[in-house]
Structure 1
Amino acid sequence: MTDYTRTHGGHTMTINAPADATEFDPAAFAAFAASDLVLGLDVETRAIVKGGPGHFGPDAGVRLVQFGAPTAAWVLNPLIPEQRRAIAEVLADERRRFVTHTSYDVLAVWSAFGLGLGHRVIDTHLLSKLLAPDERAGHGLKELTGRYLDDGLKQAETALHARMRELAPVGSRAGNNPIDWGWNHLPATDEAFTVYAGLDAVYVRRLLPLLLSRCAPFSHLVRMEAWLAAQSTGITVRGLLLDTLYTRGLLAEFRSEFDQGDQVIRQALGFSGRSPRFAAWLESQVDGFTLPRTEGGQVSTSADSLTALQDAVTAGAARISEEGAAMVAARQRLAATSNTISNLESFLAAADATGRVHPQINTLRARTGRMSITGPALQTLKKHDPRLRHCFRADPGHVLVACDFSQVEVRVAAALSRDRTLMDVIASGVDLHDATATLMYGPGFTKEQRTVSKRATFGTIYGGGAKALAAQTGVPVHVARGVIQRWQRTYPEVIRFGKDIANATTVITGSGRRIPADPDRPYANSNYAIQSTARDLLVAAVYELATTHGLAGALWLFVHDEVIVQVPEQDAEHVRDLLTKVMTSAFRGVPIAADAEILGTHWGRLPQEQAGPSVPEHAGA
């Protein structure tokens, strides 16, 4: 059998790589697998095409599977039947535990073998994010092993990439092409490929105890986050059914709207609204306002830039010609529709052959632990415009039921600061923003004053200033400053809490989560504490729903403060009531309210007359 030895940092590691069936010794491999209850698990796959179905698409394919102990690894080829059987036996053993880095390997295993590893996996990426939540801290496996062990894995990667560039054909040598070529075509028996693959599994296994020891002060979070990651992987594997006909129809509508807006500009100016000439022309139509510039120094005509221009004109701080105003409106139409077009195209591109999209939930994306969704980015789809959410639907015979917290971050702020006025307002059950507007302006407040009060509530809690409030509401800065001062006088303990926690070098939440402060933004500490606590309240509710009430398999998606489940239609009312009951609680004596609703067959509910091209019985066609 072919084996390779590497020594780094005084630590010697052996990579066993049987090249074919004759070299593979099942008994020796079984003895290795039995030598360690927890094995490092890593896979090498074909290059995944960005923006597509990923592990669930036709380009997916596992080329090597490797298992690692602290001093040895076996690198097996699933295309060789004897080795494939051995791989599957180890993976399917319920007594076996694995350590991986991110969910990539878990999803690849599901794709290639149909085996769900569930709670039998611990993720070193997750542990690293618990230790250092800042995304800039560097959570890649090569970075972590270089930090805690040695640079042997990085050396192996460098050697592998050099080998890929050496062997790549002439037409595949530009940019990153040699690397993509290598993942697809480099011989599985190539020494650089085999050594890199084996060391991946060894190093992730060696890294595990080092990270676990550092997580000991908050080991309960390790267990909860590992559980949550398994649930999120389950959502990815199950996928969301895309209403393909509706999505295609909506895409056609927006493309037509985009073309019409672009034609308005072409007819008036003789060139496209996407042309650099448009920016130069627009600048000549504006007086008293300097349009922002891109990093390359070009005039920016982004949606934000045009909105800022319009706000300046409305406030009388700038002037624009009549034709310029018309062209700005047309260009904004392009910006709005182009973003929607990009979303719709990403939905269709991400769908697998059965019409399912498999988004990945990043459970510890932000410092605070708030989750994000990629492939596609579903957390960006707004409730107030349900057309994009309507692209996703429940399976036949099922409906979607959603529940989200009501003003949870304000409630958490009251609980953490112990501000008696804010706590009394919440306990009274009246509309929070009405009550705040009354306290600030008196019972005769206007609709506009309520809006400003609402914005001031969220902005002030998170350390926002007068300029930010003015930008959000359109009021002059001096008016915004006065609003904030009123708010601070109304809820003084919230302000005191923010000032006190700003001095902390590390924010420690009620759940024990540790969030390093940003020395350049000490005011953000209150944001960290509030947002992270709200996130953990959501996770606690999800845990109860899944473990006590048996809804783990019904979990459909998490979006911000919202949980969506998919259940048989006849169970919808019962589950709606259950969601409301479980997510309605209290935190440090402050009521945490939740609202559940039956969404129906689609995530986004449209008025009946707008349901358009959706044909539920053929949704995946």
Structure 2
Amino acid sequence: MVTYTRTHNGHTMTVNAPASAAEFDPSAFAAFTGSDPVLGLDVETRAIVKGGPGHFGPDAGVRLVQFGTPTTAWVLNPLIPEQQQAIRSVLADERHHFVTHTSYDVLAVWSAFGIPLGQRVVDTHLLSKLLVPDERAGHGLKELTGRYLDDGLKQAESALHARMRALAPVGSRAGNNPVDWGWNHLPADDEAYTVYAGLDAIYVRRLLPLLLARCTPFSHLVPMEAWLAAQSTGITVRGLLLDVPYTRTLLEQVQGEFEQAAATIHRALGFSGTSPRFADWLEQQVSGVTLPRTDTGRVQVTADSLAQLQQQVTDGTATLTEQGRELVRARQAMAARSNSMSNLRSFLAAADASGRVHPQINTLRAKTGRMSITAPALQTLKKHDPRLRHCFRADPGHVLVACDFSQVEVRVAAALSRDKTLMDVIASGVDLHDATATLMYGPGFSKEQRTVGKRATFGTIYGGGAKALAAQTGVSVQVARGVIQRWQRTYPEVIRFGKDIANATTVITGSGRRIPADPDRPYANSNYAIQSTARDLLVACVYTLATAHGLAGALWLFVHDEVIVQVPEQDAEHVRDLLTEVMTTTFRGVPIAADAEILGTHWGHLPEPEQVTVSVPEHVGA
């Protein structure tokens, strides 16, 4: 058996790499795996094609599997039957626990061997995000081991990449191509490849106790976050069924609408709506307002800036020529359709052979702990345009049931600030925004005043100012400033809470989560506390649903303050009532309300005239 040793910062590590069945000693390997209750686990895979089905696509494949202790690693080749059997035996044994970095290895293990690791895994990436939740802090394994241990793993990576560049054929040497070529073609017994693979498993195991020790002040969060990560990985593995015929039809429709809008602009002006010349032309069509500009001084032509201009025209604060009105509408249509086309294409590209999409749920993406969804980005799909959400459907015989908190951030703000007026409004059960508008303007408030007051509520809680409110509502900055002052007089303790917490260098939430303050944005501290608390309330409810009511396998997706489950059609009403019951709770005496509904067979419900009946696909290419 080939053995390599590496010493970094006085720490010697051994990598064992049996290159054949004859070199593999099962008894020595068994003694190794039994020597540590938690083994480092890492896999080397073929290059994952970005934007595709990832671990669930035809290009996926595991080339090496590594197990590590703080001093020793075994690098095994699953193409050698005896070694594959040993890999499967260790991974499937419930007595073995593992430490990995991100869910990448867990998903690769499931894809290659069909073995769920569940909660037998501790994720050092997750621990790092608990310690320093800022995404910009650097949470890669090489960064972390360099910070807490030494640069040995980084050196091994550099040696591997140099080897890939040296062996890559001439046609694969540009850009990142040598690395992609290497993941697919570098010989499994290449020294640089084997050493890098083995050290990955050793270093992640060495990193674990260092991170756990630093998590001691909030160690109670670790098992809950590990549990949530396991549930999220389960959602990824199960996947969401894509309604492929509907998605393709919608893509054709949206693309046609985009081309029609683009043609309208080109016929009128002789150039594209995406040309920089459109911004120059638009500036000549507007009067009465100063248009927002880019860093280079050109008029902004974004979906938000055009929507703001339209609102100003409607309010009479801006004047736009007749042709300007027509072509701004066309340019808005282009922007909206462009985004939709991008989403629809990403859905189709991400679908596996059975028409399932396997989104990646990042459970600690934001500083506050709020989750995000990537590959594809499903959290960005808006409720008010259900056509994109309608692309995803429940499995045959099942329906989707959703439940989300009602105005949870405002309720949490009331609980944290102890503002008596806001708490009384919430306790009364009346519409919160109606009550706020009444307190600010009197009982005769207008619809517009209610809207501005509603925006002021969320904006003030999140630390927004008059300029932000003006941009969101189309009112002048002076009017927005007056609205905010009225809101502050109405709910003074919310403002006091924001000012008090702005002085904190670290925001410590009720659950014990620690969020470093941003010195340049102290006003954001109240937002951190509110948003993080709302997130933890959702997770607590999900935990109850999964553990006390057996819905772990029914979890379908998390979207902001909403949980969606997939259940047999005959159970839908019972589960809807259960979701409402569990998610209707209290926080520090303030009611947390929840609304559950049966969505039906599809995530987004289309108006009846637009409903399209399509069959469940057997294959994406069918």
After TM superposition, the structure 1 = structure 2 runs for residues 336-351 of structure 1, keeping only pairs within 5 Å, are: 336-351=336-351
Deviates more, 1:437-446 or 1:16-25: 16-25
* Equivalent in the alignment of 1:40: 40
Confirm whether residue 307 of structure 1 aligns to residue 307 of structure 2: yes
Instruction: Supply the distance in 2 between the matched residues of 1:619 and 1:174 (Cα, whole angstroms).
Output: 35
What secondary structure sits across from 1:565 in the alignment? Answer: strand
Instruction: Supply the distance in 2 between the matched residues of 1:319 and 1:570 (Cα, whole angstroms).
Output: 56
Confirm whether residue 10 of structure 1 aligns to residue 5 of structure 2: no
Aligned Cα RMSD in Å? Answer: 1.7
* Equivalent in the alignment of 1:19: 19
Confirm whether residue 189 of structure 1 aligns to residue 189 of structure 2: yes
* Equivalent in the alignment of 1:509: 509
Instruction: Supply the distance in 2 between the matched residues of 1:24 and 1:526 (Cα, whole angstroms).
Output: 58
Confirm whether residue 608 of structure 1 aligns to residue 605 of structure 2: no
What secondary structure sits across from 1:66 in the alignment? Answer: strand
After TM superposition, the structure 1 = structure 2 runs for residues 209-228 of structure 1, keeping only pairs within 5 Å, are: 209-228=209-228
- Between the aligned residues of both structures, percent identity stands at 83
Confirm whether residue 416 of structure 1 aligns to residue 416 of structure 2: yes
Instruction: Supply the distance in 1 between the matched residues of 2:192 and 2:617 (Cα, whole angstroms).
Output: 51
Whether the 8 Å CA contact 1:245–1:619 is kept in 2: the answer is no
The change in CA–CA distance for 1:460 and 1:124 in structure 2 (over 3 A counts) is same
Instruction: Supply the distance in 2 between the matched residues of 1:569 and 1:400 (Cα, whole angstroms).
Output: 9
TM-score (norm 2): 0.97
Q: Deviations over 1:385-426 (max 9, x none)?
A: 111111101000011110000111101110000011111110
Instruction: Supply the distance in 2 between the matched residues of 1:298 and 1:2 (Cα, whole angstroms).
Output: 63
Instruction: Supply the distance in 1 between the matched residues of 2:19 and 2:373 (Cα, whole angstroms).
Output: 39
1:331 Cα deviation from its structure 2 partner: 1.4
Whether the 8 Å CA contact 1:245–1:613 is kept in 2: the answer is no
Instruction: Supply the distance in 1 between the matched residues of 2:566 and 2:69 (Cα, whole angstroms).
Output: 40
Instruction: Supply the distance in 2 between the matched residues of 1:602 and 1:294 (Cα, whole angstroms).
Output: 40
* Equivalent in the alignment of 2:569: 569
Confirm whether residue 333 of structure 1 aligns to residue 311 of structure 2: no
Mark the runs of 5 or more structure 2 residues left unpaired by the alignment: none
Whether the 8 Å CA contact 2:247–2:391 is kept in 1: the answer is yes
Confirm whether residue 171 of structure 1 aligns to residue 171 of structure 2: yes
Q: Deviations over 1:532-573 (max 9, x none)?
A: 000000000000000010000000000000010011111111
* Equivalent in the alignment of 1:534: 534
After TM superposition, the structure 1 = structure 2 runs for residues 234-273 of structure 1, keeping only pairs within 5 Å, are: 234-273=234-273
What secondary structure sits across from 2:370 in the alignment? Answer: coil
Instruction: Supply the distance in 1 between the matched residues of 2:289 and 2:425 (Cα, whole angstroms).
Output: 43
* Equivalent in the alignment of 1:96: 96
1:305 Cα deviation from its structure 2 partner: 3.6
* Equivalent in the alignment of 1:456: 456
1:20 Cα deviation from its structure 2 partner: 1.5
What secondary structure sits across from 1:388 in the alignment? Answer: helix
Whether the 8 Å CA contact 2:308–2:474 is kept in 1: the answer is no
Instruction: Supply the distance in 2 between the matched residues of 1:466 and 1:111 (Cα, whole angstroms).
Output: 51
The change in CA–CA distance for 1:401 and 1:74 in structure 2 (over 3 A counts) is same
Amino acid at match of 2:358: H
Instruction: Supply the distance in 2 between the matched residues of 1:57 and 1:354 (Cα, whole angstroms).
Output: 10
Confirm whether residue 69 of structure 1 aligns to residue 32 of structure 2: no
Amino acid at match of 1:430: V
1:605 Cα deviation from its structure 2 partner: 1.1
1:274 Cα deviation from its structure 2 partner: 2.7
The change in CA–CA distance for 1:618 and 1:10 in structure 2 (over 3 A counts) is closer
Q: Deviations over 1:489-547 (max 9, x none)?
A: 11111111010110111111110100111111000000000000000000000000000
Instruction: Supply the distance in 1 between the matched residues of 2:343 and 2:298 (Cα, whole angstroms).
Output: 26
1:619 Cα deviation from its structure 2 partner: 9.3
What secondary structure sits across from 2:597 in the alignment? Answer: strand
The change in CA–CA distance for 1:48 and 1:294 in structure 2 (over 3 A counts) is farther
Amino acid at match of 2:417: S
1:613 Cα deviation from its structure 2 partner: 4.6
Q: Deviations over 1:173-232 (max 9, x none)?
A: 111111111111111111111111100000000000000011111111000000000000
* Equivalent in the alignment of 1:490: 490
Whether the 8 Å CA contact 1:243–1:619 is kept in 2: the answer is no
1:318 Cα deviation from its structure 2 partner: 5.7
What secondary structure sits across from 1:379 in the alignment? Answer: coil
* Equivalent in the alignment of 2:133: 133
1:290 Cα deviation from its structure 2 partner: 6.6
Whether the 8 Å CA contact 1:5–1:13 is kept in 2: the answer is yes
Instruction: Supply the distance in 1 between the matched residues of 2:543 and 2:517 (Cα, whole angstroms).
Output: 28
Instruction: Supply the distance in 2 between the matched residues of 1:289 and 1:457 (Cα, whole angstroms).
Output: 26
Amino acid at match of 2:390: H
Whether the 8 Å CA contact 1:17–1:194 is kept in 2: the answer is yes
1:310 Cα deviation from its structure 2 partner: 4.0
Instruction: Supply the distance in 2 between the matched residues of 1:469 and 1:619 (Cα, whole angstroms).
Output: 48
Whether the 8 Å CA contact 2:66–2:198 is kept in 1: the answer is yes
Whether the 8 Å CA contact 1:242–1:619 is kept in 2: the answer is no
Whether the 8 Å CA contact 1:347–1:357 is kept in 2: the answer is yes
What secondary structure sits across from 2:24 in the alignment? Answer: coil
The change in CA–CA distance for 1:284 and 1:456 in structure 2 (over 3 A counts) is closer
Instruction: Supply the distance in 1 between the matched residues of 2:440 and 2:410 (Cα, whole angstroms).
Output: 17
The change in CA–CA distance for 1:451 and 1:319 in structure 2 (over 3 A counts) is closer
Instruction: Supply the distance in 2 between the matched residues of 1:551 and 1:310 (Cα, whole angstroms).
Output: 46
* Equivalent in the alignment of 1:365: 365
Confirm whether residue 162 of structure 1 aligns to residue 162 of structure 2: yes
The change in CA–CA distance for 1:336 and 1:533 in structure 2 (over 3 A counts) is same
Aligned residues: 621
Instruction: Supply the distance in 2 between the matched residues of 1:571 and 1:313 (Cα, whole angstroms).
Output: 50
1:614 Cα deviation from its structure 2 partner: 3.0
* Equivalent in the alignment of 2:579: 579
Q: Deviations over 1:17-68 (max 9, x none)?
A: 1112221111111111111110000001111011100000001011110001
Whether the 8 Å CA contact 2:52–2:349 is kept in 1: the answer is yes
Amino acid at match of 1:85: Q
Amino acid at match of 1:333: A
* Equivalent in the alignment of 2:471: 471
* Equivalent in the alignment of 1:481: 481
